[in-house]
Amino acid sequence: MKNQMTFQRYELKYLLDFRQLRVVMEAMSPYVVPDEYSHSSIRNLYLDTPDFRLIRRSLERPVYKEKLRVRSYGRAADRDKVFVELKKKYRSVVFKRRITMSQDQALGCVSGAKLWPDSQIGAELAYAADFYKNLRPAVFLSYERDSFRGVKDPDFRVTFDTAIRYRREELTLDSDTWGIPILSPGQVLMELKVAGGLPLWMARTLSEHGVFKTSFSKYGTAYQDILLTGQRGERKYA
């Protein structure tokens, strides 16, 4: 999955407590196996304008919205390869386009100091950067992810994210993952990524144990916390 450059799917999100997590893990054990990259330490630099135009628009829940980010799977130095991603959502369908380059080149393209690669995805990223103007890394956001895929349907994926943290300082992928937690203690974010409907066994498990879909954006939650902590003048780094 790390090497895939285009995606089109539904992404369903659920906030679980540890009891619900155990139930889901037990129910899915006959049907899924660990993904090729079963565990990842994911780091993101979310790109936005100085007035947070992209995330403010996203939180309004329009029919169409998009996000831009630079992502690495583990610590990435300036010359290490990272992904630059354009994630779009239209009527609940998620479209993701991404390209790989060094972190130094990626941030140079974002700032306008370097040219975007001469490719279809490069052109799409160049257009987005020109459209929004003044894009820059706005938030560092990291989490630990465990990933699984369906035995019979490899396109069905289940991921569990923990230790989700954000910060507005030290905006580089070559750093430790300290920051402000955005989940309550004992919470886990589960994402189900499907091309169509949920497998019957998963739908039944969620229904029987009162696990309900939620609207949850990691960057959106971080932005809302930025507004609150800015008003209170507090910091709660972990």
Q: Could you state, in order of their start, the residue ranges of all structural domains in the chain?
A: 6-232
Question: pTM surpassing 0.85?
Answer: yes
Q: What percent of the chain has pLDDT over 70?
A: 95
Pick the CATH number of 6-232 from 3.40.50.300, 3.20.100.30, 3.30.830.10, 3.30.420.40: 3.20.100.30
Query: Comparing C-alpha atoms, which of 111, 145, 141, 153 is closest to residue 222?
Result: 141
Instruction: Report the chain's mean pLDDT, rounded to a whole number.
Output: 93
Mean pLDDT on 193-212? 93
Backbone angles phi, psi at 77, to 5 degrees: -80, 175
Residue 115 is given by DSSP the state P
d(CA 172, CA 190): 26
Q: In the structure encoding, which two tokens stand for residue 59, read together?
A: 């939180």
What is the Cα–Cα distance from 48 to 70, expressed in whole angstroms?
11
* Average pLDDT over every residue of 128-153: 96
pLDDT of 123 > 70? The answer is: yes
SS3 92: coil
